[in-house]
């Protein structure tokens, strides 16, 4: 338990630390960086694809991203819990079968 709390604290510190080092910095995504790099390399480049739907604001875009991450984390957590429970039930089942066969 103590080890888990220590690791959780370390993760929180690692997540918050950059915000204090780079005060006032913008943390943009890779899409914006790629667009700028392409513009510098070839100024006449025109994208061949456009978004089907553009979120009305940055907050909605962030909400959708967080929702996607939460669903993914929930799926991974469920899968790991299911696999662990299945493994644990097999482990508990094995000794009782072994003892019954003697």
* Direct distance between the N- and C-terminal alpha carbons of the chain, in angstroms, rounded to an integer: 39
Tell me which residue has tokens 């790991």: 80
Other Cβ atoms within 10 Å of 55 Cβ, number: 13
Is the Cβ–Cβ distance between 33 and 41 less than 8 Å? no
Which of 40, 56, 38, 57 shows the shortest CA–CA distance to 48?
38
> Would you kindly state where each structural domain of the chain is located, as residue ranges?
2-100
Given this model, what pLDDT does residue 97 score? 55
Which two three-digit tokens encode residue 79?
């899968």
pLDDT tens for the 102 residues of the chain, in order: 889 899 999 999 998 887 788 777 776 778 778 888 998 999 888 888 888 888 888 889 889 999 999 999 999 999 999 999 999 888 887 765 555 555
Cα distance between residue 5 and residue 15, in whole Å:
15
């Amino acid at each position: 338990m103590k080890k888990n709390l220590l690791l959780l604290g370390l993760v929180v510190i690692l997540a918050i630390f950059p915000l204090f080092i780079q005060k006032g910095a913008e943390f943009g995504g890779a899409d914006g960086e790629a667009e700028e790099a392409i513009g510098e390399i070839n100024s006449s480049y025109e994208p061949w694809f456009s978004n089907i739907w553009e979120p009305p604001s940055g907050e909605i875009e962030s909400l959708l991203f967080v929702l996607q991450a939460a669903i993914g984390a929930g799926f991974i957590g469920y899968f790991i819990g299911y696999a662990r429970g299945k493994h644990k039930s097999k482990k508990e089942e094995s000794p009782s079968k072994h003892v019954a066969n003697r």
